[in-house]
Structure 1
Amino acid sequence: MMFNDLLKRYNLKITKGRVAILQILTKAHKSMGADAILEECKKTGVDINLSTVYRALELFEEKGIIDKFPLKEGMCSYKLKGEEHKHLLKCNICHKEVEVPCPMKQIEEIVQNETGFTLTKHNLVMTGVCKECSKHSKKE
């Protein structure tokens, strides 16, 4: 992945720190906290401070490059956005289906950070009554 091109695409200034953070997140097999990202930067010889890491992560989140996962005690972890799968909501009455983003990412991160358990699959079934059917049933 060409990190310079990615930063340019989002109209972000190219800095050694930003490139290093993106490289670290790309190589990571799980989400990482800002402290861990800073440690990895130092190991690779990139001399930045924690506030720089937080500013870059905040900017990457605003631009939709990474996901931020709030954890316990006010801590957060960060992960590059990957391909997102979707789930279907299906109306019990008219059987209309609506695609929605997967709400499980946050739960997966909490499970992994608190238990070390990596979820490899989940099954989420959601059914209900769509807006139109709900309006129609209230009129009757």
Structure 2
Amino acid sequence: MQAIKVFNEHNIKLTKARISIYNIIMEEHDAITAEDVYKKCLENGLNINLSTVYRTLDLFEDKSIVEKYDLGKGCYNFSIQKNDHKHVLQCSICHKEIELNCPMKQIEAMVKSETGFVLLEHELKMKGLCKDCSDEK
């Protein structure tokens, strides 16, 4: 079982609720709200409190197992942390490059939440100055 392996790697105590929550998030193709995780737990016959779901998701976020997306107005979605593609920032002056994780997942979750629209691909182009070149100006 993948959950047990992940929990052992992250030094997380095994509980029925944690395994169930992990499996629910793993089965989702898109990000999911804590409330939806809670409903699925109840549908699966696991009688837990919504606060348990929130605490578990916070733990998973702290251990970098899930990513948390702020949808605004106190709403959040969660998805399993994946090694997705990265974007490169390049300084326009010295051409130093810095790699960063793709920031689009949060935007994709917001777009779906607000419009129901599912993004299939995106293109992100950023230009700027690195700290050293910015300080020299």
* TM-score after normalising by structure 2: 0.91
Q: Following TM superposition, by how much is the alpha carbon of 1:135 offset from its aligned partner in structure 2, in angstroms?
A: 4.0
Secondary structure class of the residue paired with 1:37: helix
Partner of 1:56: 56
Matching residue of 1:85 = 85
Corresponding residue for 1:30?
30
**For residue 9 of structure 2, what is the aligned residue in structure 1?**
9
Which residue is 1:65 aligned to?
Answer: 65
Separation in 1 of the partners of 2:23 and 2:132?
A: 47
Superposed CA offset, 1:23-56 (max 9, x none): 1001112111111111111111112111111110
Task: Give the secondary structure class of the aligned counterpart of 1:69.
Answer: strand
What one-letter code is carried by the residue in structure 2 that aligns with 1:41?
A: C
**Stretches of 4+ aligned residues off by more than 6 angstroms:** none
Distance 1:77 1:135, change over 3 A: closer
Q: Could you say which residue in structure 1 is the equivalent of 2:113?
A: 113
Secondary structure, aligned partner of 2:73: helix
CA RMSD of aligned residues (A): 1.5
TM-score (norm: length of structure 1):
0.89
Matched with 1:94 is: 94
For the residues of structure 2 that align with 1:132 and 1:33, how far apart are their CA atoms? 40
3-state SS, counterpart of residue 127 of structure 1 = coil
Which moves more between the two structures, 58-67 or 27-36? 27-36
Q: What 5-or-longer segments of structure 1 have no aligned partner?
A: none
Can you give the 5+ residue segments of structure 2 that lack an aligned partner in the other structure?
A: none
- Residue 115 of structure 1 and its aligned partner are, at CA, apart by 1.0
CA–CA distance in structure 2, aligned partners of residues 35 and 94 of structure 1 = 47
Partner AA of 1:107 in structure 2? I
Offset of 1:130 from its aligned partner?
A: 2.2
Alpha-carbon separation, structure 2, partners of 1:92 and 1:20 = 48
Distance 1:131 1:11, change over 3 A: same
Tell which structure's C-alpha radius of gyration is larger.
1
